[in-house]
Structure 1
Amino acid sequence: MGSDSGSLSIEEKEAVVTKVSSPQSKEIAVEDGDLLSPDVRPAAERQLVRHLDLRLMPTIIIIFIMNYIDRSAVSSARLQGLQQDLNLSGIQYSTVLAVLCASYVPAQIPSNMILNRISRPSYYIPACVVLWGLTSAMTGVTKNYTGIVLCRIFIGLPEAAFYPGAMYLLSRWYTRKELAFRSAVIYGGLLISNAFGNVRLVISIFLLVLVMDLTHLQLMAAGILSGMQGKRGIAAWRWLFFIEGSISIFIGIIACFILPDYPHNTRWLSPAQLRLAQVRLAEDAGEADEDSAQESALVGLKLALQDPKVLIFSIMNCSQLLGLGFINFFPTIAATLGFSTTVTLLLCAWVFFLNFEGFLNDRDLRPPWIFSTIVCAVNAWSADRTGERFFHHCWPWWGVLVGYIIGVSTMSVGGRYFSMFLMAAGYSGFALTAVWVANAIPRPPAKRSAAIGIVNGIGNIGNLISSYTWKSQWGPNYHPSMYIGIASLALSTVLAFVIRCMLVYENKKLERDESEDLKGARRERIEEAARLEGLAFEQALERKRGFRYLY
């Protein structure tokens, strides 16, 4: 390509993009900046995003499914005798649920700091997947309370790396207005895994088929708990841990070869595509998405701790997860509808048309988590299109509030089942939490990675507390649990509004400060953005002045 690039035909443009799509191609004859040409860039950018969507997104989704299945398997196993076999009291079972947070919560912050400094997240994240799969499998051999508590503590350490790490990795590749929908698609894996985690494997032998064909995973809990009891003298709940842990180990090994690293060193993209990936993010925020020489992991942590938004985000996240604490007890809540264990699990599952005992006047059931996944995707798509964050974050919580109010007002099957839909859809708001943090604290990456780890880590204290707010003695109506949820989500709404007001103020401050000279690390990142984009510093500075926080 040269000065006559403006005359390229459509076929020639596509040929250039295809030519640089493989770093191993011997035909590469373009410079690493040639994909920035106005004639070629739109097609090249679409192809880059498509590559990411086809490799990064499915891998993260599958890992996320297994992440939550392995973490929540205890809740499913309880329905088939785990508590009785291990002689756990009610308080001991709650401790088994809560103790995971003792390692899961604090480990997220150093894990994200490590992830920001290492060059190969494609090794780090899969290694953590293998470790938690191994620990999950070992849970199946526990004989007593001490054994299962130790397994829960150790499974929290590698699992802490995943969600905040995945959100940080996405923020290193996608622009602000691409991030919310991708995050929601990934979080849809969590919502669907609430169905998967509460149903069983039908075919335990064909692990590869199960990994590649998610339609079979819908029967995971129901198949194992109803079909594996006593096989080889092993209780069904132990088979649940063995099989799910083995699948996680297998997925972790495969992920090493699929996940990307960062926009400067991913091996399966060409130099031209890597340059384009860096330019996209530099344009999005007006400065390069790189740390300066002075911005170490500890400096990033210090910057995050000094930002009041991080503290408010953390308390808001803790409060919302406390309000959404029903998720760990969803099978128990469904059991209050009065059906058998198998039907209770299937009510939580990914099955569109079920019909049990004339339930709801013989109508088809529309399971809550499918509804929640659809709401999550549509809500995030709208958030990306509009750039609005506060309302898209909060309105799903308000649906949960209505669900709780229905729950405390009636014990009818229809009313309670409808409230379960509203409750499940509430997780659509949580899916945008890490996205909003990344948008509100975009630079430097060291600060962003620490902020995501802090917010998600402290937020999960809400999960720990919720382990004790859905007590069995409060059943079958669980009114106190729902009152706590109502108060928690109301507080979350107030804090989210405070964050919105802070971002509005910061945008006004940006307008006042745009004429001031930039110095230090901030100037370095703008200079790096100018170099990547082939612009003069003044041009890059002008582009930076168009940046505003999304609220």
Structure 2
Amino acid sequence: MSWRENAFTTDTSTKDDTDGQSLSKRATKNLVDKIDRNLLPIISVLYLVSCLDRSNLGNAKQAGLAEDLHMTGKDDYNIAISVFFPFYLAVQVPSNLILTRLRPSLWIPTFMLAWAIVTISLGLVKNYTGLLVLRCALGIAEGGIFPGIVYYLTKWYKRHEYGFRIAIFFSAAEAGGTFNGFLGDAIMDMHGVGGLNGWSWIFIAEGLVSLCIAGVAYWRMHDYPDRAKFLSPSEKQAVVRRLDEDAYRLSDRFELKYVRNALLDWKIWMHMIITVGICVPVYSIGEFLPTIIQDLGYTDDHALLMAMPPHGAACLFILCGGYLADKHRQRGIYIIGFCLLAMVGFAILGVVENAAIKYSACFLVAMGIYPIVPQDVAWNANNIGGSTKRAVGIAMHIGFGNLGGAVAGFIIREDDAGRFVSGHGILLLITASSCLLTAFMTWYLRKENGRRDREYKCPDSYTREEKMREAEKGDRAPFFRYTI
């Protein structure tokens, strides 16, 4: 008998376990660590590369893209950024529905293969119209990645575990993004190679990297726990059992009524609105932070270097927030705290003249805004009962929320006054709105959990058969309790 099989202990008091097996605390940790080692590296790289490929337009602009494509209009560049997002949104729900039926190890890498081809094609574009068309195609090719990865993680981890895992791959992309400017500068040195300009090589080189990683992903990505090659048969059973218990044994069937339930669930729509209010400042700061620092007197590589510490601090807060929110099994209060931190930063940026204080405010903004994204995504996913409804709800949330990126390019503009007073004021108000809605959601979910505690018996006291009879109700089942 192997050490893995020895890790199982018998717990005859577990009401829902028909086979009487449960994992010891140490064995559970070993099992989750093993899942982390086999899942998180590849999905972190996938998401990092997707973020780099969608944000390299700024580097290409600096390398002469606008001049070569005759982008003479005042808003041509902002339109090229924004046109990506409606198509990014449109593909997310269909993609996640397909993912519930297909193997993740095929579906997700295929998206990467598609966006790699589109990125390489961007390097060969000859006019502004072609640029817009390919940016639309890139939105379609990348649309399924973020919601697909989040849904994928919910099929491997319990509700209070995958918030930290979402934070891990999100922080990896945030950390990698800080080097995007230097990467663009390095690739620009290829100007003239093959008769192509430097901005062409930015797209081509990064697209070729994505193409290679897509090939690795076909080989390295795993499907769901019951088919994972790195798990022993007993470990597969343990993972499936613990997830089944954590999901209250709700239905995993694919039926259109669950799609309809997601589309009509006001709580999902509330998260979508909250996320719009977060994504607008996320994309604004991510796109224009170097410009803000340049306004403080730093230029070129110095501006890129000065942008790195705030992003580094944001990564630390993303990870700490994800860990603590999972540990305490609460998300609303953390999101409120992060919103307040960002609001203080925006207020300082809008009214203070001192350069050192304004730079410090950039830390507050980054440390407040970025950690909210993975926690709000996890919060929404935590509170959707049933696999199909969760897949649709995650895609609705992420897709609609990212519409904030479509307007972000018009909030803080390079031709505004030096301190971008109007832009920071708008971002402050938008963040405050999301904060208030988060406070409302936290209050409502506490109230609803309290009502269910009073009117129904304790969730642990339901038998397996009782839960199966209510499985069709999803998060409306009497034994379901919301994460607050």
TM over 0.5: yes
- On the 8 A contact 1:380/1:392 being kept in 2, the answer is no
- Out of 60, 79, 99, the position equivalent to 2:83 is 99
Match of 1:548 in 2: 481
Match of 1:74 in 2: 57
Match of 2:220, SS state, is coil
Q: Does 1:436 pair with 2:379? A: yes
Match of 1:198, SS state, is helix
Q: Does 1:333 pair with 2:296? A: no
Match of 1:371 in 2: 313
Match of 1:182 in 2: 165
Match of 1:48, SS state, is helix
- Cα pair distance change 1:511/1:479, threshold 3 Å: same
Match of 2:93 in 1: 109
Letter in 2 for 1:14: W
Using the TM superposition, give the Cα deviation of residue 475 of structure 1 relative to its aligned residue in structure 2, in angstroms. 4.5
Over residues 391-412 of structure 1, what are the superposed CA-to-partner deviations in whole Å (9 max), with x where a residue is unaligned?
2112222222122112112344
Match of 2:257 in 1: 299
Alignment of 1:153-302 (within 5 A): 153-200=136-183, 221-225=184-188, 227-288=189-250, 290-292=251-253, 295-296=254-255, 298-302=256-260
How many residue pairs match? The answer is: 464
- On the 8 A contact 2:4/2:235 being kept in 1, the answer is no
- Segments of structure 2 that go 5 or more residues without pairing to the other structure are 9-16, 472-476
Letter in 2 for 1:332: T
- On the 8 A contact 1:222/1:346 being kept in 2, the answer is no
- Out of 465, 471, 474, the position equivalent to 2:416 is 474
CA distance in 1 between partners of 2:465 and 2:132 (Å): 50
Over residues 353-400 of structure 1, what are the superposed CA-to-partner deviations in whole Å (9 max), with x where a residue is unaligned?
xxxxxxxxxxxxxx1111110111111111111112112112222222
Match of 1:313 in 2: 271
Query: What is the root-mean-square deviation in Å for CA atoms of aligned residues?
Result: 2.6
- On the 8 A contact 2:342/2:365 being kept in 1, the answer is yes
Letter in 2 for 1:102: P
Match of 2:344 in 1: 402
- Cα pair distance change 1:302/1:34, threshold 3 Å: closer
Match of 1:29 in 2: none
Using the TM superposition, give the Cα deviation of residue 312 of structure 1 relative to its aligned residue in structure 2, in angstroms. 0.8
Using the TM superposition, give the Cα deviation of residue 461 of structure 1 relative to its aligned residue in structure 2, in angstroms. 1.3
Structure index of larger Rg: 1
Over residues 132-186 of structure 1, what are the superposed CA-to-partner deviations in whole Å (9 max), with x where a residue is unaligned?
1111111111122111111110011121111111111111111122111111111
Percent of aligned pairs with the same amino acid: 28
- Out of 508, 519, 531, the position equivalent to 2:450 is 508
Using the TM superposition, give the Cα deviation of residue 511 of structure 1 relative to its aligned residue in structure 2, in angstroms. 1.9
- Cα pair distance change 1:472/1:69, threshold 3 Å: same
Match of 1:256, SS state, is helix
CA distance in 2 between partners of 1:274 and 1:16 (Å): 11
TM, length-normalised to structure 2: 0.89
- On the 8 A contact 1:180/1:435 being kept in 2, the answer is yes
Match of 1:347 in 2: 306
- On the 8 A contact 1:61/1:186 being kept in 2, the answer is yes
Using the TM superposition, give the Cα deviation of residue 506 of structure 1 relative to its aligned residue in structure 2, in angstroms. 2.2
CA distance in 1 between partners of 2:243 and 2:407 (Å): 38
Letter in 1 for 2:299: S
Using the TM superposition, give the Cα deviation of residue 450 of structure 1 relative to its aligned residue in structure 2, in angstroms. 0.5
Using the TM superposition, give the Cα deviation of residue 99 of structure 1 relative to its aligned residue in structure 2, in angstroms. 0.2
